[in-house]
Amino acid sequence: MPFKILKDFQIRIFEKSMKKIENPVQRFIIQMPTGSGKTRTAMEIIAFQLNMNPGKSIMWIANSEELCEQAVECFKDVWSHIGNFDVDVIRAWGSNDLVIPTRSSFIVGGFSKLNSTFKKKRELAEKIRDDLVIVVIDEAHQVIAPTYKRVVETILESNYKSHLIGLTATPGRSDILCSETKDLTDFFSGEKIEIDSGEKTVFEYLRDKKVLSNIEKDPLITDIYYKLSEEDKKYIENYFDYPPGLLKKISQDDARNLEIIKKLKYECELNKKVIFFAGSIDQSKFICALLNFMEFGAEHVDGSTGKDRRRYIIEKFKQGQLNVICNFGVLTTGFDAPKTDVVFIARPTMSIVLYSQMVGRGLRGSAIGGTNTCKLIDVIDNIEKYGSPDRVYDYFEQYWGTNE
């Protein structure tokens, strides 16, 4: 496969980042919309820095196996073309234990793995930190969660050499928690690098370049009313999203599922490639079983699906051997199958971050191997007090194309 050089807007992000890194101990966020090549741009930055610092290491931290594996694959691709010496790749997530580098290394760690490791062996962080040039936080909006923040602070404690770079498509953890957005800004010293789009919005700019696809909205309005219990309301007040029990109840609604399956059947008959986000594991399995009964190619994926099995399913989808991947909670990030025709969201959410990650699976434009247009089918429910989707939906107004 030919090496893909950075596009002009990515080069400008690279140059701005290099300028910041010229100064000691920098913290900043790189904000680029989903689908515009955050990971690829960041890999160019860290490969350049590794070349400049032989014997030193880079640590990349993410919160899912998909993101960790994606980082490893992207680094290998970039380093094989521009690296000047051999570098070890150290995996520290899942069943892979963190080891101390013996030479220049690209260390990829999962937050939960690093947290449990540093709790038991804090000295590992101390031994690793001295040789780190840069620490990168993928999906950086999550770093202010207490556990994640503790991991980063443990790595950077008494380290006056390493730069900290956050990557995000969405600057805040949610639209409600303004204080958390401020905490995130403060954590990265208020420094942000973003795409220079001139007089256009960044979304218009990237759509014009066919980096982002046009989103064709096709909402599925159920008109089904869901009443909230006092426990539901308390959960929403505390966690700013719908509780798992409510998601399960909504996803078991037969009338709602009938409308969903009718809509999916229509898209499958047009031979469209669909990513379906369910409200529960059971719903994902149920919808998948119905699609297969109707003789459409469908597979189910959730957090318990093995890595090899997951990779096999995603590869089948990429090769056009599946109509639909049904999933719950695992394909919001780190999933790279650009030619997605339809993103179907049947999971109600109040979280702008989660919503953006789901929609983002269909945002890659034709210039980067995606599609010119992607259909978004969003199941709109009438949930007591919180039923209107406008707040989350309107937040992404600039993402939508002109197709109405």
pLDDT higher than 70, residue 46: yes
Amino acid at residue number 287 = I
User: What whole-number distance in Å separates Cα of residue 162 and Cα of residue 25?
Assistant: 6
Fold equal for 8-196 and 209-399: yes
* CATH number of the domain located at residue range(s) 8-196 in this protein: 3.40.50.300
Which pLDDT tens digit goes with each residue over 281-324? 999 999 999 999 999 999 999 888 887 898 899 889 989 999 99
Q: At what angle do helices 230-239 and 244-251 cross, to 10 degrees?
A: 120
pTM attached to this predicted model: 0.77
Answer whether residue 401 shows pLDDT above 70: no
SS3 118: helix
Yes or no: say if 28 and 297 are a contact pair by the CB < 8 Å rule: no
* Closest by CA position to 19, among listed 56, 38, 45, 57: 45
Delimit the domains of the chain by residue range: 8-196, 209-399
117-131, 227-241, 242-256, 307-321, range with the lowest pLDDT:
227-241
Question: What does the pLDDT look like over 113-164, one tens digit per residue?
Answer: 999 999 999 888 888 988 999 999 998 888 888 888 999 999 998 777 899 9
Look up the CATH number of domain 209-399. Answer: 3.40.50.300
